[in-house]
Amino acid sequence: MTQPNAPRFEGELRISPRPVLALLLIAGVLLAILARHTTRDGVLLNFVTVLWGLVTVVWFIQTWRPHIGRWVLIGVLNVIVLLLYYWVGMQGALSLLATIPMLATGVLGVGVGIGVAIAETLLLATMGLYPPMRADLGQVLTALIVLWSVMATLQWVYRRVTGLALWCWGYFQHAQELLTEARNRQVELKQSIEALEHLNRQLALSNEKIAALRRIAEEAQRTKAAFVANVSHEFRTPLNVIIGLAQLMTETPYIYGEGLPDALTEDLDVLRRNCEHLSGMIDDVLDLSRVESGHLALHRERVDLVAVVDRALTVVGPLLERKGLWLRKKLPESLEVDCDCTRMRQVILNLVGNATRFTERGGITVEMAQQDGSVVVSVRDTGPGISPDMVERIFQPFYRVGDGSLQPGGSGLGLSITKQFVELHGGQLWVESVLGQGSTFSFRLPLSSPLDPLERVHGWINEGWMERSPRVGAGGVRLRERVIVCDPKASASLCQLFSRHQPDVEFVPAATVGAVTQALASCPAQLVMVNATHAEQLTALLAEARAAIPDTPLMGCSLPPILERATRSGAMGYLIKPIRREDLTAALDSLGLTLRHVLIVEDNADAMHLLAMMLNTIDETLRISTATSGQEALERLGDERPDLMLLDIVLPDIDGWQLLDAKNADDALRDIPVLIISAQDPQESPPTTEWLQIAMSRGLSVSEVLRCGRQAARALLYPAEEPD
């Protein structure tokens, strides 16, 4: 892009004739002044007059036609030089002819300058040879020498100057192009900045919308989880009644007098099995809800997976025998794995149970093999197989197979939960199936928890700092974070709870501050957690630890044990609905009490009737009293003083916790044993703390306080992110 006002360069240097005309006018003034001091003043004045006239004519012609004016100027200069020589009689005036080609070169170009020099040479030759224009031969030769010396010098200088001018002109044009490009880039940059600002505003708005939607989704997730939990708890009470009564009818029919008909007993078995299936489905829904909300923590420990598989197969054995299916096991003698034993047992039961339900002839094969630091467990059946379109969706929750009916005897949740459990262990679950030939469900688990980084042992180094070969059995050392938990009451159970949420961290229990110092002396730790059941005890316990532990970070919290509320209220046990007769029998035996009178506090009449019948089947001599509200229970406790109270937490007037507080406040009632019976599982609601204190024996600087505050805020605002 060329600038509109930029000068143009044609390859030759040109000068304007106006400075030459100005010099001629000045020369005329000087000659006029000189004429007053000479004897030939009249000739000089006449010459000056002619000179000014010629310059005036050239000036007007240059203004009217610049190109013609340049040629006229060259001719006028020749006339002026000849007048100086012939009219004024100036000696050496012919040498001034050498300036005319030089000026012609400047105003008209190199070619014209050379042509004028040739013309001047012919003129001088004519003046030296032609008699009418006879001139002094010496002056002619001098003028010719000066002429061509000036032309040679001019050509040499002109070429150098022209080359320099061309070089400068090229760089000027390049600079103009760069300037134009820079201006264009500046415009583009400005447009890009405006576009980025617009996109930044859009991104900020999108982030705000995403944050709002995330909060809405989290709230919806919490609401859904709470709804599922509440509905599931409400289902457990009637299911407990149905399952319990069906069990009593089939296992102890004598309490109803005459024996029950066989057909009725079979129907009661069907009723109980379906209710137990519904109860299991409720547990599956709760498990799935906890997995989706991130509240399901694994209790990892080193277990023999072969033993876990054997125990699970023992449970499914009767079902295989009833269907006439064979069972083949290809298991090693022993294989230890870091896993949650309960969840792995549930995984095996789900896979083998599904294979058994879908297989009508043939049998089940269970295989286990170790492969590259992991273990692969496969369950193969000889059932009808799964079509390829179903394989892609079979792990979805509540997926319906075939014509829309649920899987036989299944809830549609087993495979989805199984997949979630395997992935929580860092494993993988997949299926291979051929229609008409059966299916194989396999899952892979790492043998050990992924603990990084893996460091080599550098303990054996010689004097030359060359690493020696490690001793036999040294192998690698896995570095694990080590946290010491100081809890005067339940440090071991608290460590177990922490391990379920952070399996890659080594939690060391310590009941006292002295035990913490001993544990630190044996092996350093990254953190010491000080826990107090009551918040008012935390400050004193943390101060004691701060004085005894000089260089390890301390964190204080107030986490009560899971059953702390029940035990603190005086309860001797906790049963979760649905309750079976054998569960109640085991709980009563564990109390070690001689029971003659039992008070049942339950607002549901059916559940109360079931508990009473179970107690009568356990001991026919028991005296049983009932109460449907908390106030009625307090009155019966004062009037009858039973040997044991079976208490439901949910009551119409005051809840079970308030009833326990009122009982414990009465010295006469405080010693009456209590066994809580509730549909609320305390394991489903892990303890929380309202206090979190961080301390160091040397104190915390301002930068450390700010860094800890930012990290804590990030952990609280974004609990799903992994720590840095």
Give me the residue spans of the domains in the chain. Answer: 1-226, 297-446, 479-561, 564-684
Beta carbons of 486 and 528 less than 8 angstroms apart: yes
Beta carbons of 384 and 353 less than 8 angstroms apart: no
Q: What residue has token string 């095996």? A: 348
- Given this model, what pLDDT does residue 196 score? 92
- Given this model, what pLDDT does residue 27 score? 72
Output the average pLDDT for the chain.
Answer: 76
Nearest to 422 by CA among 500, 352, 354, 343: 343
Phi, psi (deg, nearest 5) at residue 690? -95, -5
d(CA 583, CA 358): 32
- The answer to whether 479-561 and 564-684 have equal CATH topology is yes
- Given this model, what pLDDT does residue 724 score? 46
Tally of CA atoms within 13 A in the half-sphere of 378 that contains its CB: 17
The CATH class given to the 297-446 domain equals alpha beta
Using a 10 angstrom Cβ sphere, with 0-12 exposed, 13-18 middle and 19 or more buried, the burial of residue 594 is exposed
Beta carbons of 576 and 678 less than 8 angstroms apart: yes
pTM of the predicted structure, to 2 decimals = 0.48
Q: How remote is the C-alpha of 489 from its chain's centroid?
A: 39
**How many C-beta neighbours within 10 Å does residue 237 have?**
20
The 3 state secondary structure assigned to 598-631 is EEEECCCHHHHHHHHHHHHHHCCCCEEEEECCHH
Q: What fold characterizes domain 564-684?
A: Rossmann fold (3.40.50)
Length reported for the chain: 724
Residues 6+ apart with CB under 8 A from 631: 653, 654
d(CA 349, CA 311): 9
The CATH class given to the 479-561 domain equals alpha beta
In sequence order, the β-bridge partners of residue 199 are none
Q: What residue has token string 């610049």? A: 66
Residues of the chain with pLDDT under 50: 1-11, 402-409, 451-478, 723-724
